[in-house]
Structure 1
Amino acid sequence: MADPVRIQLLKQIGNADHVEMLRELRDQVHEQMEALLWASPVEQFNEQLNEVHDAVIRRTIVIAEAEMARLGKGSPPVPYAYLLFGSGGREEQTLSSDQDSGIVYQDPVSDSAATQHYFQQLSELIVNMLQTNGYPPCEGNVLSNNPEWCMSITQWKQQLNGWFQEPAWESVRHLLIMADGRSVHGSTRLLDELKEHFFIDLLNHPIIVKRMLDNTMRHKVLLGIFGHLLKEQYGEDAGSLDIKYGAYIPMVNAIRLLAIQAGIRDTSTLLRIRRLVELEELPSPEAAAYEQAFRLVMRLRLMTTEHYENGLYGNNGKLPSRKLTKEMTEELKSALRLGKKLQRKVYKQTMGRLT
């Protein structure tokens, strides 16, 4: 998208005063950026696309706050932060994106029940409005209108403590989700405080790091032992490549675990790689190879099947292999070999720290 066009659209998004107008603008962005996918460097395309997603989400929250006031429910009673998790938290959303969200708010001086009720109502409005704007809710119910993901800072810290003390699979999954958390609206101080608590707790619970490693190694890259690409065998996606879970997620998870152990607060995968180099946790040449591989994976993930159903944008993460040229196929195999190398490195390095 040319800069003047993008700047104008961002301005229109920032001035939209109702959800229907936001939806029209979001559809315009989708069409224009889809046409320009191959014309821009992938990192630049990703940055611009996620800037637009953030703008739509922020404006939706502002409209929801105004609707609460119009309904006589007042303004936010205390400062709060609206959080994005998953690809939104990592600033790696594709043209389609679901909702992975939460709210953390300042401890109220009095009437905590009323404060909690306000944010639950606000969250319901935001989630519903974002659905109208084409963002389906997270299938795992990691949503701001879920009381477990909408709490005061003290309640959040208590929940983190509970997750750290119970190394069950679901608790560890939630902790890894939190590591990708990013504030898209409101008080960044609250998230900073929550992240500080997260990293302090992590130091005191090494068993959790082992469980995080188990989770990180769960998804294998889609490269067979003879160096061939592993394609989907059955169903409507037979012959396709699972770019999301067979290429993207393995690299995201591996870099995230290295970053967590290094105390890195950044959430984007590419930024995490660069911070690891700065902290001398990754050699610069090795990191450059991982960056190049990850850019290719990002490009292919942006190419995966998009569909539009019931007003919602969706993406199953599968890429028909016919869309790959011979050159791209070889580049993907090379990237996947690096992905395997990265997973081995993370396993060896993490186990070495735990013994």
Structure 2
Amino acid sequence: MPDFESENRLRRIAGCQDLEQLKSIRIAEQQKLEEELHSSDSPLLVNRLNKLHDGIISKAVHLAENDLARKGHGAPPVPYAYLLFGSGGRSEQTMHSDQDSGLVYADSLDAGTAERSRTYFTQFSEAVVDSLLFLGYPLCEGKVLSSNADWRMTLDEWRNKLDGWFADPSWESVRYLLITADARAVTGDTGLAAQLQEHFYNELANHPSIAGRMLENTLRHKVLVGFFGQLLPERYGSDAGTVDIKYGAYIPMVNAFRLLAVREGIRATGTLERIEKLQQARALSSEEAEEARQAFAFVLKMRLIGKIIPAQLGRELTVSLKESLKAGRKIQSKLQGEMKHRFGGR
């Protein structure tokens, strides 16, 4: 069924002439979506919000490209794809998500084009990151940004980088591989992103031992629910008494379903789509998949609200939250059992 509201938003974004106009549209449209927060179906709301983000980011990229051309830098020397990682790559951004970005561009046939490409895409990426910062997207604290040369490379350089991470199963390398598993092209030559993804999965198949390290990283964040199903709020500091939905529910579930999907060679990046594909691959039973869908959809909605105080939730929401957290803990237990069985881990 067509989502005419989202289509109208994207048409308004496409007609923007500058960043000021684009910023006004983002503020106005997010306010409308925030008003729907408590009454809307959560996957639909998240889908609409992320279509808005995709439209805003894509337009900012194109405005930066046009601005460089006006300043005499010409058109991009070779094709490129602008990548999103993290919640952007999964199409699960909130109202206030930060930038997690990268860039892959085509390899050059000669040294002159290669040098022009390096210079152009350095300026281009810096312009895009600055534009998105102006539009209200904070910088990634971990510097996963297209303006950082570590995340802006030719396709061959990206392949070599992945090869190095797979060959060195350190904690940082595994973290970078898991970040890359969520990569999605928001605009540009999607074929470049597809080739990067293809190399990732080929190398994963060639390094089966990396899966054990991925499990260790994945289980770092625990679901905040006790043995008897009680909520586990923050105990200290200014957030004492609150439940951190992002790190206590959302991130653990994202991590678990991402790893299950990666193991099965599933290329989807969104968590709900990963759950669907896992059911199709029979890596999850229909009962497990349905429980996971309901739990994750609820967590997505609560994540839009942010840190919550359990006492203020009311009985119905508290029960739903507990059930969702129990489902998250169940999937983590499934992974822990697999870790012990396959890799002799804890």
Report the TM-score, using the length of structure 1 for normalisation. 0.93
**What is the SS of the residue equivalent to 1:319?**
coil
Who is 2:163 aligned against?
161
Matches within 5 A, 1:325-340: 325-340=314-329
Distance 1:182 1:47 in 2: 15
The equivalent of 2:20 in structure 1 is: 20
Which whole-Å deviations, capped at 9, do the CAs of 1:281-321 have from their partners, x for residues lacking one?
111111100110111111100111xxxxxxxxxxxxx2233
1:88 counterpart letter in structure 2: G
Q: Tell me which residue corresponds to 1:348.
A: 337
Counterpart for residue 115 of structure 1? 117
- Which residue matches 1:140? 142
> Paired residues, what number?
341
Name the structure 1 match of 2:38.
Answer: 38
Is residue 2:281 matched to residue 1:268?
no
User: For the residues of structure 2 that align with 1:8 and 1:208, how far apart are their CA atoms?
Assistant: 45
Counterpart CA distance in 1 for 2:339 and 2:194 is 25
| Distance in 1, Cα, partners of 2:255 & 2:9 | 33
- Say if 1:237 and 1:320, in contact at 8 Å, map to a contact too: no
Kept after mapping to 2: 8 A contact 1:99/1:143: yes
Q: Report the counterpart of residue 289 of structure 2 in structure 1.
A: 287
Deviations 1:3-43 (A, max 9, x none): 65543332111110111111000000111110111221111
**Displacement, 1:207?**
2.3
Structure 2 portions without partners, runs of 5+: none
Cα contact 1:81–1:190 (8 A) shared by 2: yes
Q: CA deviation at 1:322?
A: 4.2
1:256-291 superposed Cα distances (whole Å, 9 cap, x missing partner): 000000001000000000001111111111110011
| Kept after mapping to 2: 8 A contact 1:206/1:354 | no
Q: Structure 2 vs 1, CA of residues 27 and 323 (structure 1 numbering), >3 Å: closer, same or farther?
A: farther
Q: Is the 8 A contact 2:6 2:51 kept in 1?
A: no
Deviation at 1:229, TM superposition (A): 0.9
Aligned equivalents of 1:344, 1:224: Cα separation in 2: 13
* Paired position in structure 2 for 1:73: 73
How far off its partner does 1:184 sit? 0.3
Q: Alignment partner for residue 191 of structure 1, among 171, 193, 212?
A: 193
Partner Cα distance (2:249, 2:274) in 1: 18
Counterparts of 1:4 and 1:107, CA distance in 2: 39
Q: Which residue number corresponds to residue 174 of structure 1?
A: 176
Task: Check conservation: 1:22, 1:133, Cα contact below 8 A.
Answer: yes
Q: 1:232 aligns with which of 228, 231, 234?
A: 234
| 1:311 equivalent in structure 2 | none
Let me know the Cα RMSD of the aligned residues.
Answer: 1.5
Partner of 1:310: none
Q: Which residue of 1 aligns with 2:91?
A: 91
The residue type paired with residue 326 of structure 1 is R
SS at match of 2:243: strand
Tell me by how many angstroms 1:81 deviates: 0.4
- Gap runs ≥5 in structure 1: 305-317
Distance 2:301 2:341 in 1: 34
Greater Cα shift, 233-242 or 207-216? 233-242
Equivalent in the alignment of 1:208: 210
Partner Cα separation in structure 1 for residue 322 and residue 4 of structure 2 = 38
Q: What is the CA–CA distance in structure 1 between the aligned matches of 2:317 and 2:226, rounded to whole Å?
A: 17
The letter of the residue matching 2:189 is S
Q: Distance in 2 between matches of 1:3 and 1:258?
A: 31
Q: Offset of 1:336 from its aligned partner?
A: 1.1
Of 251, 256, 260, 1:258 maps to 260
Distance 2:61 2:262 in 1: 29
- What is the TM-score of this pair, normalised by structure 2? 0.95
